[in-house]
Amino acid sequence: MTMGPRDAALEALCALEGPLARLEGGARDLLGWAALPDERDRALAVQLVQGVMRWRATLDWIIARKLRFPFSKLEPRVLDILRLAVFQITRMDRIPQSAAVNEAVKQARACARPHVAAFVNGLLRAVCREGEPLPFPDRKRDLRRHLAVVHAYPEWLVDRWLKEWGMPAAEELMAAGNRIPDLTIRVNRMRIGRSALIRALAEEGVAAERTAYAPEGLVIRGVKGGVERLKAFREGCFQVQGEGAQVFSHLLGPQPGERVLDLCAGLGGKSTHLAELIEGRGFILAVDLQPRRLRGLGEAARRLGLGGCIHCAAADALHGAANAFRGGFDRILVDAPCSGLGVLSGHPDIKWRRRPEDIARLAGLQLGILEGAARMLKENGALFYGTCTLIREENEGVVEAFLAAHPDMAQEDLRVQAPPWARPLIDARGFLQILPHVHGLDGFFGALLRRQGGREGAGAPGHPLRDEHGSESIRK
């Protein structure tokens, strides 16, 4: 069933209610081709949903000031109707305010109660009359509340970043997290060079420029209807992948002929990158808990022509992988599940799904995964631990706890190990530390760890892989 872009956006926002909902789930389906076949409608709906999630606290502040009853009394659907309209009124210059109000009133009428439509109409017209500048909370009297409203962040996260980063870095970090991100791809150098791909994309009407750091990265603009429509994509010339994520594989540094484990593989952006770096010569095991993701990984690997060395297996990185897979690995990549608070520019819904108590829980999960990974690492093997968060408890804290419990493991100084192009991304302690407000990228953390001696991985010689869950080559 098709619908208008504002109605699709409203349904997607309603689907996002609750801490477990996310844009990658059912809400994304409501913004897809089936619901919105027109490209312009789909683009508007996505912009509306992303915008409301990005500026939710600011929108709620504006709405609350116009209420004659407690904000908590607003019904969730009515609140989302108001958020959509206020976002258009205050942050979308190309949409007439009258159009935003009228469409919101139509949505309110669908609630089947006349007084709801009248309420929505009155409140939104009051917002239109007020105009700019808005009287936000006083900065000097309550800095935390001011930052939470002006930059649209939950107060607990504002408080945490003020303590960990201080001013003005915390505010700069919040502002950077609200920027609309570029679309970045990774050139498949097994098929094409970066300059050649720039020319090929130009022939398809897509502008591309080199990324600031990653040597295979391109920022692309002018894509209409999704990258999967591009001939260069179908021919396996590139993979969509953020620049910061591309750095992980380079810092792990796999070599042709090595056995490499991607323990939290997801859809395979890093697995396929690792395969490119070893030139298709070696063994890469991609592990993920969800078979659906592994199927997507397999499709990407075949499209890129990299399936020959990538093998997939569904397993639990925390509880089952270390026991299921026999034979040590030369290099292991742990792109750990984390709070995701470094990638808010592209995933603004994360701000509202996370809770303070999630941090300690995730840090415990990350430490458990790291300990399991270490049991599969060969003597003198390298392990890269990375996250896409800026919370130190999940980053340096996990690494420090792990090293304290594993005297046979040591941190490598990335100031020495990293290629020259990556060294501006390395901090004074030898960690990868990509900061959105400093480097203009999503936020990432990483540490390179090495087994210094003692036992090798748990496997026996002569058995390159034993998998209780069943491993399959992408070629099959």
pLDDT one-digit tens code per residue, 99-108: 999 999 999 9
Domain count, the chain: 4
> Same structural domain for residues 401 and 329?
yes
Domain co-membership, 292 together with 309: yes
| Residue 135 belongs to some domain of the structure | no
**Is 138 a domain residue?**
no
Q: What is the pLDDT of residues 257-281, one digit of tens each?
A: 999 999 998 888 999 999 999 999 9
Residue 136 resides in a domain: no
Within 10 Å of residue 197's Cβ, how many Cβ atoms?
22
Taking the C-alpha atoms of residue 351 and residue 22, their distance in angstroms, rounded to an integer, is: 11
**Matching residue, tokens 């209780």:** 468
- Does residue 94 lie within any of the structural domains? yes
Write down the mean pLDDT value for the chain. 89
**Amino acid identity, residue 337?**
P
* Residues 387, 301 share a domain: yes
Render pLDDT for 49-92 as a digit per residue (tens, 0 to 9).
Answer: 999 999 999 999 999 999 999 999 999 999 999 999 999 999 99
Choose the final residue of a domain: 100, 130, 160: 130
Q: Are residues 73 and 163 in the same domain?
A: no
Domain holding 9, by residue range, is 5-130
**Domain shared by 215 and 334, yes or no:** no
pLDDT band, very low/low/confident/very high, at 350 (cuts 50, 70, 90)? very high
Dihedral sign for Cα atoms in the order 392, 394, 399, 401: positive
Active site residue: 264, 309, 338, 388, which one? 388
* Amino acid 322: pLDDT: 59
Q: What pLDDT is recorded for position 320?
A: 60
338 annotated active-site: no
Regarding whether 195 and 92 lie in a shared domain, the answer is no
Identify the pLDDT of residue 471: 43
> DSSP letter string over 28-71?
HHTTSTTT--SHHHHHHHHHHHHHHHHSHHHHHHHHHTT-SS-G
The pLDDT > 70 percentage for the chain reads: 88
Q: What is the mean pLDDT of residues 418-422?
A: 96
pLDDT of residue 316: 81
Q: What are phi and psi of 244, to 5 degrees?
A: -60, -40
What's the predicted TM-score (pTM) here? 0.89
Residues 194 and 271 in one domain: no
The two three-digit tokens of residue 226, written as one number? 């999704």
Supply the CATH number for residue 424's domain.
3.40.50.150
Q: Residues 30-42: pLDDT tens digits?
A: 565 556 667 788 8
Positive or negative CA dihedral for 76, 77, 82, 88? positive
Q: Is residue 48 part of a domain?
A: yes
CA neighbor of 403 nearest in space, from 426, 435, 422, 430: 430
User: Is the pLDDT at 457 greater than 70, yes or no?
Assistant: no
Mean pLDDT for 435-459 is 83
pLDDT band at 17 (very low <50, low <70, confident <90, very high): confident
* pLDDT tens digits for range 288-320: 988 899 999 999 999 999 988 999 988 887 776
Q: Are residues 380 and 450 in the same domain?
A: yes
CATH number for 189: 3.30.70.1170
- In the DSSP assignment, the letter for residue 429 is T
pLDDT digits (tens, 9 = 90+) for 425-441: 999 999 999 999 999 99
Mean pLDDT within 325-336: 87
Contact 333, 262 (CB under 8 A): yes
| Domain harbouring 116, CATH code | 1.10.940.10
Side chain identity at residue 93, one-letter code: D
